[in-house]
């Protein structure tokens, strides 16, 4: 969190506020001085704005991925996997094991039977709509109960797939991004054509990045004899630890259970490489922006040494000069921060995708630029202002008065 | 009756260093200026007149001797105390006016008052009073670039007197002005001395400007050469 970076700076910032309130070299003086040098002010503010945009967008990306996974699970459901399989793609569950589990008394029953879904997960290459290439997309085969167990998923158009037919239902978020992925269209793979009969909305969950079909059809198409996983619902969230322990202890089944919420929370790691890369780029650009701010402020000090000398002669102390120029740097960077936060808003709602490095498949999500993220962007620019402005302000405050009066 | 000396300099010395080479500018100078005096410091370039002015105004420090101004030994004050002292006791008038270009005439004059505890209303009254004294009340909103050189210097004088300091120090106040404006500025300073009783210490090359002072002090190579009383 960017706010934490302010903790060590709090005494300094508090002093700055106090300095501005107590002995004001008017802030209008700084604002007008910035405005007098429009070109350098705006170019520096522009550089800071770019950094803030990247910062906000990277944060939005990582939060978008986290939200997708965190909102995917239910507290009373358990994902059953092969022991030590981190993700469904690496897991297998035998038909015999699945049959035994379905009769387990821990499981909730509804009118159509136990709420348990044997599922199969595969990854397929799909062409992107913009012609920029293709990317891996997760295909989930599931039983009708599996659809009922994902309450955050709702059908937007068409109908759900019918067991035994090569039919697909696709998430709305992927429709615009992939070629041939839309209502009434079809995909050709494993020697047959698969009709898209419905479009669903996953409520911002990880299911927004999955194409769904009948589990048996998908297994046949890929000559699979085992499921990838099983999703089961228990009577309450309190029953989950007991069920997980039951699976651990049952040497005959040799399966592992993970609370569904925990399973998806672990998957938030999927966004880490992108986040690390984004942060790295942000750090590099930040250093550049701090130097840009520093350069602009040093130039401001150099061109205003006679003014500084005059202020000192009139009785303003070194600390007041320091505070004044520090405020000017903060104004400059805040201007950049506000510009950047405004520009980042342009990303709001844009549908995009990134790679889940756990499954090497696409994660679809929409950038959401919240007021909190924008606030963090502006706070980040303030941080740049403190760091980039301190040394020029310090320099301004240390120029001997007689030297400053001569214009440096 | 004993004179009330507002400025006392005793054996004041000031040297600058260029590497290991010492360049003496003032060499053991003694000077006393009474309250209400109007003195002009004169001399060729490098004689040390501006350096002496800076030392008396508390914006530079001597390397030897002592300077007492308004009852304060300036050697006893640290940098911050000296800044506070300047804001209360000294008004500055510079050759190039040194107005802040992004502030208008009113704001420039108000600058020294921001260091006081005066309310906004009190500050406004004082600024208007000072600007009235220099006959510029119709130029409150004008920025320095919108003023003539003479008007700029009058704003600078208003800024110098707005805090009602004991001493006005002026370094070549007419150096950048034409003859007419220079005469107006000097007449204004003379009025401030004779009517308001301000002590004025002026550095100038210009004999005409120096003629407005009551006493001319001539420096030569860092020492007092002669003192001349001006007959008018």
Domain ranges of chain A: 2-69+270-405, 77-235
Q: Is the pLDDT of residue B98 over 80?
A: yes
Task: Report the C-alpha gap between B203 and A317 in whole angstroms.
Answer: 25
Would an 8 Å CB–CB cutoff place A245 in contact with chain B?
A: no
- Judge: B92–A36 Cβ closer than 8 Å, yes or no: no
For residue B46, the enclosing domain spans 36-60+89-229
In contact, A95 and A227? CB cutoff 8 Å: yes
- Candidates A33, A311, A318; nearest CB to B102: A33
How far is the alpha carbon of B228 from chain A, nearest alpha carbon, in Å? Answer: 28
Determine, yes or no, domain membership for B149. yes
CATH code of the domain in which B173 resides: 3.40.50.300
Residue in A187, A209, A208, A207 with CA at minimum distance from that of residue A197: A187
Chain A residues whose beta carbon lies within 8 Å of the beta carbon of residue B94: 310, 405
Give DSSP secondary structure letters for A179-211.
TT-STT-EEEETTEEEEEEEEEE-TTSGGGGEE
Q: Quote the pLDDT of residue A198.
A: 96
Q: Mean of the pLDDT values across residues B29-52? A: 93
- Judge: B98–A405 Cβ closer than 8 Å, yes or no: yes
- Judge: A307–B98 Cβ closer than 8 Å, yes or no: yes
Contacts of A160 (CB under 8 A, 6+ apart): A144, A147, A169, A197, A198
Task: Report the C-alpha gap between A265 and A269 in whole angstroms.
Answer: 8
Give DSSP secondary structure letters for B69-80.
ETTEEGGG--HH
The CA distances from residue A4 to A123, A206, A290, A376, in Å, are: 40, 30, 19, 11
| ipTM surpasses cut 0.90 | yes
Task: Report the C-alpha gap between B101 and A76 in whole angstroms.
Answer: 70
Tokens of A317: 């102390």
In contact, A101 and A115? CB cutoff 8 Å: no
Confidence of residue A358 (pLDDT cuts 50, 70, 90): low
Would an 8 Å CB–CB cutoff place A109 in contact with chain B?
A: no
- Mapping DSSP to helix (H, G, I), strand (E, B) and coil, where does residue A250 land? coil
User: Which positions 29-88 of B are in contact with A (Cβ < 8 Å)?
Assistant: 54, 57, 59-60, 79-80, 83-84, 86-88
Q: How many domains does chain B have?
A: 1
Q: At what angle do helices B149-161 and B179-194 cross, to 10 degrees?
A: 20
Determine, yes or no, domain membership for B73. no
Each residue's pLDDT tens digit, A121-162: 999 989 988 888 888 899 999 999 999 999 889 999 999 999
Q: Mean of the pLDDT values across residues B124-140? A: 94
Contacts of A38 (CB under 8 A, 6+ apart): none
Contacts of A105 (CB under 8 A, 6+ apart): none
In contact, B142 and B163? CB cutoff 8 Å: no
- Mapping DSSP to helix (H, G, I), strand (E, B) and coil, where does residue A150 land? coil
Each residue's pLDDT tens digit, A62-116: 777 777 676 678 899 999 999 988 888 889 999 999 999 998 888 998 888 899 9
Q: Quote the pLDDT of residue B176.
A: 85
């Amino acid at each position: 969190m960017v706010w934490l970076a302010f903790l060590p700076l709090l005494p300094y910032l508090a002093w700055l506020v106090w300095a501005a309130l107590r002995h004001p070299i008017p802030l209008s003086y700084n604002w007008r001085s910035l405005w007098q040098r429009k070109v350098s002010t705006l170019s520096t503010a522009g550089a800071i704005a770019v950094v803030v945009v990247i910062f906000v967008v990277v944060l939005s990306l990582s939060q978008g991925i986290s939200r997708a996974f965190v909102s995917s699970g239910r507290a009373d459901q358990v994902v059953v996997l092969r022991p030590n399989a981190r993700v469904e793609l690496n897991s297998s569950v035998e038909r015999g094991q699945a049959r035994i589990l379905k009769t387990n008394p821990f499981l909730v029953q509804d009118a159509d039977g136990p709420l348990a879904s044997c599922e199969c997960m595969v990854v397929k290459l799909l062409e992107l709509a913009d012609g920029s290439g293709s990317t891996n997309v997760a295909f989930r085969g599931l039983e009708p109960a599996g659809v009922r167990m994902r309450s955050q998923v709702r059908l937007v158009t068409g109908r759900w797939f019918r067991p035994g037919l090569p039919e697909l239902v696709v998430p709305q978020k992927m429709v615009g991004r992939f070629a041939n992925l839309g209502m009434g269209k079809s995909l050709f793979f494993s020697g047959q054509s698969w009709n898209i009969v419905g479009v669903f909305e996953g409520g911002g969950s990880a299911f927004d990045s999955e194409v769904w079909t009948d589990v048996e059809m998908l297994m046949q198409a890929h000559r699979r004899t085992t499921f990838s996983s099983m999703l089961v619902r228990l009577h309450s969230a309190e029953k989950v630890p007991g069920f997980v322990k039951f699976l651990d202890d049952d040497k005959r089944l040799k399966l592992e259970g993970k609370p569904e919420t925990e399973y998806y929370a672990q998957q938030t790691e999927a966004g880490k490489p992108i986040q690390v890369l984004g942060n790295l780029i942000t750090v590099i650009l930040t250093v550049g922006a701090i130097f840009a701010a520093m350069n602009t402020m040093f130039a401001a000090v150099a061109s205003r040494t006679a003014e500084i000398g005059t202020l000192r002669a009139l009785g303003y102390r070194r600390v007041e000069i320091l505070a004044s120029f520090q405020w000017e740097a903060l104004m400059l960077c805040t201007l950049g921060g506000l510009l950047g936060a405004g520009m980042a808003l342009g990303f709001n709602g844009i549908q995009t995708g990134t790679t889940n490095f756990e499954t090497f498949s696409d994660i679809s999500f929409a950038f959401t630029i919240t007021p909190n993220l924008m606030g963090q962007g502006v706070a980040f620019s303030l941080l740049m202002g403190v760091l980039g402005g301190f040394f020029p302000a310090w320099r301004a405050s240390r120029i001997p008065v007689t030297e400053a009066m001569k214009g440096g | 009756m004993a004179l009330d000396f507002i400025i006392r300099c005793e054996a004041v010395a000031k040297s600058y260093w260029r590497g290991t080479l010492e360049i003496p500018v003032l060499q053991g100078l003694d000077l006393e200026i009474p309250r209400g005096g109007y003195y002009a410091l004169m001399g060729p370039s490098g004689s040390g007149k501006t350096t002496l002015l800076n030392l008396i105004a508390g914006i530079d420090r001597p390397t030897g001797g002592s300077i007492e101004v308004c009852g304060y030994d300036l050697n006893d004050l640290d940098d911050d105390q000296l800044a506070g002292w300047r804001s209360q006791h000294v008004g500055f008038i510079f050759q190039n006016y040194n107005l802040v270009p992004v502030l208008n005439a009113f704001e420039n004059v108000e600058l020294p008052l921001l260091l006081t505890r005066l309310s906004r209303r009190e500050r406004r009254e004082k600024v208007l009073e000072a600007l009235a004294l220099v006959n510029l009340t119709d130029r409150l909103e004008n920025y320095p670039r919108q003023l003539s050189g003479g008007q700029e210097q009058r704003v600078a004088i208003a800024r110098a007197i707005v805090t009602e300091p004991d001493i006005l120090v002026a370094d070549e106040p007419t150096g950048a002005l034409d003859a007419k404006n220079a005469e107006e500025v000097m007449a204004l300073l003379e009025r401030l001395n004779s009517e308001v009783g301000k002590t004025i210490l002026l550095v100038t090359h210009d004999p005409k400007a120096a003629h407005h002072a009551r006493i001319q002090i001539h420096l030569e190579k860092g020492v007092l050469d002669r003192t001349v009383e001006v007959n008018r």
